[in-house]
């Protein structure tokens, strides 16, 4: 075994600093910066600067409010249906046009003018009219990020990576922040894949070392009878060569077996590993590099994979691994307050009267409290099925807590519209 890798600093989520002024030719594919007619184009340079200043001031106010209310309101993740303290009568919000997770229990800032549009788009998408929903989203894009996030999710579900990347450039320019990255959801035409069912969960914490062997053995044994496996990495603070080698071998076996995987906190874990390697430094075990490459492969980050593989090749003077797109992996944001119990994985598409699924949820909820519904693979639920789901969850919620996690923003908007926040806490996935 190679020498032990020292403790790596755990990467904390930080709001990126606003980039410097962007030249129009820096993003040749950006519809916004090319000056084509869009609803987002500013007529004058003065108006452009005014909008940017508004965005900066709003971001500062949001940061201040979040810092003061993080424990009471966010609980590490925004949720609809959370138990929150009501504002005292007459209390005023610091933001005139932005609502921040108070009485309305919204997961994001939403302008009042956008609410009817959000509802209409959510219904159109639920009914399978995703082309019309896309058109409406593009037509109504403004300073309400909820609309942007819904459009990002629509592009992910429909596999439109070029459109996603173009929107990401406009998003970065508009809000002066890092845009979302491409991580495709199951396609709309793949109902029932992956299947629904209880997804065994293993959470790794502290130092990743040889002690993880029993956890990996449990995952391997559970894989054949499970629709998917969930691995949580966000509590890892340091690694050893032995731990990296064991986890690397397990991930490679599961991938070659084409098992469905959900990786929570994988980008943060990749950052942790990246902080412990250095080009040309052979004192670091190659297993750290190889585990980093495996994570990048599973996340379908081909460009980062190729760059890291070249650094690995230079460091050890060996041929680097080749990239193979992983088709059975979903990622999820860190959820430090989420319960460690196994989750019930919902299928990619739910339509009509899903009685078999609802009966299975009854059985699952009778065994788990809280009952956590994993929506990381749920691309779409239609209006009728969403109503049936909420009605079935209502009596279950009387005796236990119910959470719906990693919900895409199109589905989350429909659930909110139908009153799902009354029976479950809803955690949209983060951008």
Q: What is the pLDDT of residues 177-229, one digit of tens each?
A: 988 888 766 566 554 455 678 888 899 999 999 999 999 999 999 888 887 88
Q: What is the pLDDT of residues 385-424, one digit of tens each?
A: 999 999 999 999 988 899 999 999 999 999 999 999 999 9
Which pLDDT value is given to residue 12? 38
Residues 6+ apart with CB under 8 A from 2: 241, 284, 285, 286, 287
| Residue of 291, 51, 61, 294 whose CA lies nearest to 174 | 51
Q: What is the pLDDT of residues 170-180, one digit of tens each?
A: 999 999 998 88
Mean pLDDT for the chain?
77
What is the band of 326 on the pLDDT scale with cuts at 50, 70, 90? confident
158 or 66, higher pLDDT: 158
Indicate the burial class of 121 (C-beta count within 10 angstroms; 0-12, 13-18, 19 or more). buried
Spatial separation of the C-alpha atoms in residues 51 and 332, rounded to whole Å: 32
Domain annotation for the chain: domains and CATH numbers: 26-86+94-175 (no CATH), 201-331 (3.30.750), 334-428 (3.30.750.24)
Which pLDDT value is given to residue 43? 44
* Eight-class DSSP state of 47: H
Which pLDDT value is given to residue 332? 72
Judged against a pLDDT cut of 60, whether residue 157 lies above it is answered with yes
For 26, 36, 50, 276, 383, the CA distances from 133, given in Å and listed in that order, are 30, 22, 30, 44, 15
Spatial separation of the C-alpha atoms in residues 344 and 340, rounded to whole Å: 12
What is the band of 325 on the pLDDT scale with cuts at 50, 70, 90? confident
Structure tokens at 6: 């020292």
61-70, 296-305, 325-334, 417-426, range with the lowest pLDDT? 61-70
């Amino acid at each position: 075994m190679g020498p032990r890798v020292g403790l790596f600093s755990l990467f904390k989520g930080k709001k990126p600093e606003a980039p410097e002024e962007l030249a129009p030719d820096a993003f040749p594919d950006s519809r916004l910066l090319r000056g084509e007619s869009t609803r987002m184009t500013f007529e004058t340079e003065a108006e452009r600067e005014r909008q940017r200043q508004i965005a900066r001031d709003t971001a500062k106010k949001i940061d201040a409010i979040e810092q003061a209310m993080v424990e009471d309101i966010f609980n590490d993740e925004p949720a609809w249906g959370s138990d929150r303290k009501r504002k005292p009568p007459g209390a005023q919000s610091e933001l005139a046009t932005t609502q921040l997770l108070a009485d309305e229990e919204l997961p994001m800032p939403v302008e009042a003018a956008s609410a009817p549009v959000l509802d209409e788009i959510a219904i159109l998408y639920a009914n399978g009219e995703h082309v019309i929903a896309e058109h409406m989203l593009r037509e109504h894009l403004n300073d309400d990020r909820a609309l942007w996030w819904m459009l990002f999710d629509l592009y992910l579900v429909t596999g439109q990576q070029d459109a996603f990347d173009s929107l990401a450039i406009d998003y970065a320019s508009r809000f002066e922040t890092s845009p979302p990255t491409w991580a495709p959801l199951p396609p709309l035409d793949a109902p029932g894949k992956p299947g629904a069912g209880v997804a065994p969960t293993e959470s790794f914490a502290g130092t990743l070392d040889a002690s993880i062997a029993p956890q990996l053995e449990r995952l391997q044994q559970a894989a054949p009878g499970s629709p998917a496996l969930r691995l949580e990495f966000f509590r890892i603070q340091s690694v050893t060569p032995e731990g990296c080698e064991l986890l690397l071998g397990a991930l490679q076996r599961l991938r070659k077996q084409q098992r469905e995987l959900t990786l929570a906190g994988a980008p943060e874990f990749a950052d942790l590993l990246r902080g412990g390697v250095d080009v040309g430094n052979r004192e670091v075990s190659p297993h750290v590099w190889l585990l980093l490459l495996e994570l990048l492969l599973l996340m379908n980050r081909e460009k980062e994979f190729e760059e890291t593989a070249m650094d690995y090749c230079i460091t050890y003077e060996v041929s680097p691994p080749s990239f193979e797109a992983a088709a059975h992996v979903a990622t999820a944001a860190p959820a430090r307050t989420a319960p460690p119990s196994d989750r019930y994985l919902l299928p990619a598409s739910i339509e009509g009267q899903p009685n078999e699924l609802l009966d299975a949820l009854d059985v699952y909820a009778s065994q788990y409290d809280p009952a956590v519904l994993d929506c990381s693979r749920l691309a779409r639920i239609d209006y009728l099925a969403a109503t049936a789901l909420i009605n079935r969850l209502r009596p279950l919620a009387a005796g236990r807590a119910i959470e719906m996690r990693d919900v895409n923003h199109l589905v989350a908007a429909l659930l909110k519209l139908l009153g799902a926040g009354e029976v479950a806490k809803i955690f949209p996935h983060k951008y």
